[in-house]
Amino acid sequence: MKIKSILVKSIAVAAMSVTSLVVANNAGSNTAQAAIVQNDASVVTVNYVSNNSISVYNNYENPVATGQILASNTSWKVIKTAYDSKGHKWYDLGKDQWVRAKYVTIGHHAAATQTQTTAPASTQAPAQSQTQTQNTQTASNTSASSYTSNASGSEASAKAWIANRESGGSYSASNGQYVGKYQLSASYLNGDYSAANQERVADNYVKSRYGSWSAAKSFWQANGWY
């Protein structure tokens, strides 16, 4: 009886040892899981000065550069926040255009100088640097004052639809940092809130981000913003 008891106990101990080993091995082999998490930013600003720009990637799990770049000191709307399997944090700027969080700062920040010291593209329209000279601003304002939009037909209709949803069609509407008929970030307008400049910047923003006002309208209908 004693021999049998000892044998049973030995088998039980061996089994427990094997089980512990398996658990330990599994615990040691676990890696972080890539996942979208609660969004922690509505706007981010590129702060990578080394190359004056950062790359945009098609996703955060197996990122491949899209060929687009975002210039330093430009601000962008954020749709999603996620971590890849290596623990790196990413931001989705819309339509699966991802950037590494380490190369941006949360919030909208106008560039104080052209030589930031923070260490380390495009479809949204970038914010204009506020370090431009007065002459450059004057030239821009003069050009904007004579701007005429070439949107017509369905494009003009989609543009008017967005303006109505954003501001009721008012050039003087404002909501925080968003200004005018198309509710553009104030920095996009570079201090010129004239109707002509709002039209010009809105056309450029939509062309660079969506390709057309019709596409921008479709995006707005699906997401509630553009």
For the stretch 54-111, pLDDT in tens is 888 999 999 999 888 888 887 777 888 999 999 999 999 877 889 999 999 988 655 4
- 134 HSE (CA, 13 A, CB side): 0
Where residue 31 falls among pLDDT bands split at 50, 70, 90? Answer: low
Where residue 188 falls among pLDDT bands split at 50, 70, 90? Answer: confident
pTM for this structure? Answer: 0.44
Whether residue 141 has pLDDT greater than 60? no
Cα distance from N-terminal residue to C-terminal residue, the chain: 80
Per-residue pLDDT at 15:
42
Per-residue pLDDT at 160:
95
Contact 147, 200 (CB under 8 A): yes
- Which tokens hold the place of 149? 């939009």
Whether residue 28 has pLDDT greater than 50? no
Over range 119-126, report the average pLDDT: 38
Cβ neighbour number for residue 198 with a 10 Å cutoff: 24
Between CA 34 and CA 86 the distance in angstroms is 8
Where residue 126 falls among pLDDT bands split at 50, 70, 90? Answer: very low
Cβ neighbour number for residue 168 with a 10 Å cutoff: 9
Share of the chain above pLDDT 70, in %: 69
Between CA 37 and CA 80 the distance in angstroms is 8
Per-residue pLDDT at 142:
41
Over range 142-169, report the average pLDDT: 85
Question: In the chain, which ranges are continuous DSSP H helix?
Answer: 2-29, 134-145, 153-167, 186-189, 195-209, 213-223
Distance of CA 65 to the CA centre of its chain: 15
- Which tokens hold the place of 3? 């021999």
